[in-house]
Amino acid sequence: MTAPQIYRIYIKATPEAIWDAITRPDITEKYFYGSRVETTAEVGTPIRYHSPEGELWGDEVVLESDAAHRLVTGWRSLYDPDLVDEPSSRVTWQIEELDGYSLLTLVHDKLEASPKTAARVEGTGWMMVLSGLKSVLETGTGLDG
């Protein structure tokens, strides 16, 4: 059985700023491997990720949404031909405000039928995204400079 992947990071930013960083393409491109998110973040609507060249890297649906607190989406990796045939998994972004900081918890689960996806995003994959998000919000610069 593939265990849920859980990542936590403290960010000196408001929950609203983190929400914007997760749901706005002009911000995601600065930390999410250059990808631009396309979403209204409303339940039942699409959430898509596009490469810097416009290629579709991810195409799923918003499952839960509570602005500045919680976003749950399907996750299916289209950026790698080895991952395309695996079924969708789930990503949850949970934001909690804590004395001038926010705790961002990312849970990637429902990976039992998607072992290649689990291996690809484990550790460095999601930690690079979260570290980049923190860097963008705290310094204005992503990990790529």
* Spatial separation of the C-alpha atoms in residues 39 and 99, rounded to whole Å: 29
The pTM assigned to this predicted structure is 0.93
* Contact yes or no for 98/81 (Cβ under 8 A): no
* Spatial separation of the C-alpha atoms in residues 59 and 2, rounded to whole Å: 22
Q: Is the per-residue pLDDT at 52 higher than 60?
A: yes
Residue 144 included in any domain: no
pLDDT score, position 141: 83
Residue 88 included in any domain: yes
- Euclidean distance between the first and final Cα of the chain, in Å? 38
The number of domains in the chain is 1
Q: Compute CA distances 40 → 3, 45, 87, whole Å.
A: 30, 7, 23
Q: Compute CA distances 57 → 33, 35, 67, 70, 140, whole Å.
A: 11, 8, 24, 22, 25
* Banded pLDDT at 1 (limits 50, 70, 90): low
φ, ψ dihedrals at 109, nearest 5° = -135, -170
Residue in the block written with tokens 């700023």: 17
Residue 122 included in any domain: yes
CATH code at position 97:
3.30.530.20
pLDDT tens by residue, 13-28? 999 999 999 999 999 9
Residue 145 included in any domain: no
Tokens of 127: 């930690």
Which residue segment(s) compose the domain that 60 sits in? 5-139
pLDDT tens by residue, 28-39? 999 999 999 999
Residue 119 included in any domain: yes
- H or E element that contains 31: helix 25-31
Q: Is the per-residue pLDDT at 12 higher than 60?
A: yes
pLDDT tens by residue, 59-118? 999 999 999 999 999 999 898 899 999 999 999 999 999 999 999 999 999 999 999 999
